[in-house]
Structure 1
Amino acid sequence: MTLTTSVQTGARLRRGRRVSAAPRWLLILVEVAVPVLLIALWWIVSAGSTNTFFPPLSAIVSRLGELLTTPAFLGDIGLSVLNLVLSFLIATVVGVLLGCALGLIAPLSWFVEPTIHFFRAIPPVALVPIFVSLLGFGNGTRILSISLAALFPILISTIDGVRAGEPTLQMVGKVYRLTRAERLFQVTLPAASPRILSGMQVSLITAFVVMIASEMLGSSAGLGAATLLAQQSFAIADMWAGIIVLGVLGYLSTALFVLFRRAVLRWYIASQQLEKSE
């Protein structure tokens, strides 16, 4: 009976994959085609432009190629990526740990949650001037401001995910006499992982926006600072080149995280496809 059920489940899952394959390929095609069409349209429309603030795309691409050979521009890109990754990791570790504590310990959440909801209501970019005023313009200040802005989506999603855990799973954990640590890592966190990773994706976007803002505010290093300096120096081609690189970095960071999320939640995605195919 178990073998028959397993075969039937595998067949349903394969049918679900075949049904969803065409729309997925269509989405991938559209995702690739739309940017290509927009770039082609930009190239054509700007080809004969004489506007100082809207140079031809060919001139921007040429200037971008020159900048990518300079150590200063590559250093700005590297610093921005480093700040983003480090801040995101800090926000993830703190958010998941604190979220688990608040989700599992009700009295603690009663005291702390009003403060959390107060600070998360403040626009993340508005926190940057406060940290700069208190701590100065150092790179540590930028990392702290980015981490704090990215913390709240992960924290809230972790709290909700832990609280929404299946009571049946918790009962099974107790029946098998799992310790609290084993129930946390083997039952609670896996069940909450879809919500946690969704919060992390929102957090990554927030961290990217605050990273740019923190570099533009009183900093001389980083891609955001380089782009702002180019605008203030009327180096318009350099400004557009910086904007393009920022867009590419934002897209790549999101795309990489989506791949990571799919790999971690492969079991969850498979179960959802199985439910749809039934």
Structure 2
Amino acid sequence: MRRLLLRVFLVLALPVLLLLAWWVASDGSTQVYWPPLRTILRTFPDVWTGERLRADVLPSVLRLLAGYGTAAVAGVALGTLIGSHRRVRAVCEPVLEFLRAVPPPVLVPVIMLFAGIGDTMKIVVIASGCVWPVLLNTVEGVRAVDPVMLDTARCYGITGPARLRHLVLRGASPQIFAGLRQALSLGIILMVISEMFAASDGIGFTIVQFQRGFAIPGMWTGILVLGLLGFLLSVVFRLVERRVLDWYHGLRASARRSP
């Protein structure tokens, strides 16, 4: 119980301190674009009602999950293929480095030409940016699998899907989850950017509408919603990561305890 309370304290201490600092720094503000935090918090329940959550937050989350899931599947599949074969990696590496260097927001106008301005465009934008951390980390994770273990599996006749599932993907999973963690934060950014370009709903669209209508406290409440959404998704991701990589964290803990 004490350990749980300590963990909760460590998680909440810094956000609470930052909010207190924001409250104190903005308390006497009379600027239009820098309203006091108390004004923003007072506006929050009036803006983000249940209807607005269904109309704006839910579509954004669904697009994010669709694009992120697509990037995760494609990144792990292609990364495993490229990381497992040296010749494939040699052929693909120059192209991958070129495409990775192109900022995903730059592709939004191009994607709009082919996918229109609907949900498909937003999902493709999110997936096109999120795929690179997953892909590159998967490649490095697969390449780092212990060659002795690969030879041992080959000697025991463990090949095909069993070798891929129980050895390659399992050995590369810590690196894969590192890429998934990076892709999650990038996906939230691309979700907002895609909704600011062309949309009729979503968190990014709502923030822009408030800004254009000079509803500045409402605009700030949208930024708070994004922060809360990012925090909740991060918590869920850590729970999933902890469960999937329980064996890995156990190995690290035992290695630290050993003399």
TM-score, normalized by length of structure 2? 0.92
Q: Which residue of 1 aligns with 2:15?
A: 35
Q: Which residue of 1 aligns with 2:45?
A: 65
Question: What CA deviation, in whole Å up to 9, does each residue of 1:185-229 have, x standing for no partner?
Answer: 111110000000101101111111111111111222110010011
CA distance in 1, matches of 2:104, 2:6: 36
- Which of 225, 229, 242 does residue 245 from structure 1 map onto? 225
CA distance in 2, matches of 1:169, 1:271: 17
Structure of larger gyration radius: 1
Q: Which residue of 1 aligns with 2:113?
A: 133
Deviation at 1:98, TM superposition (A): 0.9
CA distance in 2, matches of 1:104, 1:138: 37
CA distance in 1, matches of 2:177, 2:5: 24
Deviation at 1:70, TM superposition (A): 5.0
Q: Which residue of 2 aligns with 1:152?
A: 132
Q: Which residue of 2 aligns with 1:198?
A: 178
Deviation at 1:94, TM superposition (A): 0.7
Q: Which residue of 1 aligns with 2:197?
A: 217
For 1:263-278, list aligned pairs within 5 A: 263-278=243-258
| 1:84 is the counterpart of 2:91 | no
Deviation at 1:176, TM superposition (A): 1.9
Deviation at 1:172, TM superposition (A): 2.0
CA distance in 2, matches of 1:232, 1:188: 51
Query: Cα distance 1:33–1:104, how it changes in 2: closer, same or farther (>3 A)?
Result: same
Paired residues of 1:67 and 1:73 also in contact (CA < 8 A): no
For 1:154-173, list aligned pairs within 5 A: 154-173=134-153
Which amino acid is the alignment partner of residue 225 of structure 1?
A: F
Paired residues of 1:95 and 1:152 also in contact (CA < 8 A): yes
SS at the partner of 1:122? coil
Count of residue pairs the alignment pairs up = 257
CA distance in 2, matches of 1:177, 1:25: 49
Question: What CA deviation, in whole Å up to 9, does each residue of 1:42-99 have, x standing for no partner?
Answer: 2233333322212222221122101222523431100111111111111011111111
TM-score, normalized by length of structure 1? 0.86
CA distance in 2, matches of 1:143, 1:135: 10
Deviation at 1:252, TM superposition (A): 1.5
Deviation at 1:276, TM superposition (A): 1.4
SS at the partner of 1:52? coil
Q: Which residue of 1 aligns with 2:92?
A: 112
Deviates more, 1:189-198 or 1:131-140: 131-140
Deviation at 1:27, TM superposition (A): 6.5
Deviation >4 Å, runs of 4+: 24-28
Runs of 5+ in structure 2 lacking a partner? none
Identity %: 35
Root mean square deviation, CA, Å: 1.9
Q: Which residue of 1 aligns with 2:79?
A: 99
Question: What CA deviation, in whole Å up to 9, does each residue of 1:27-46 have, x standing for no partner?
Answer: 75343111112212322333
Paired residues of 1:68 and 1:74 also in contact (CA < 8 A): no
Q: Which residue of 1 aligns with 2:210?
A: 230
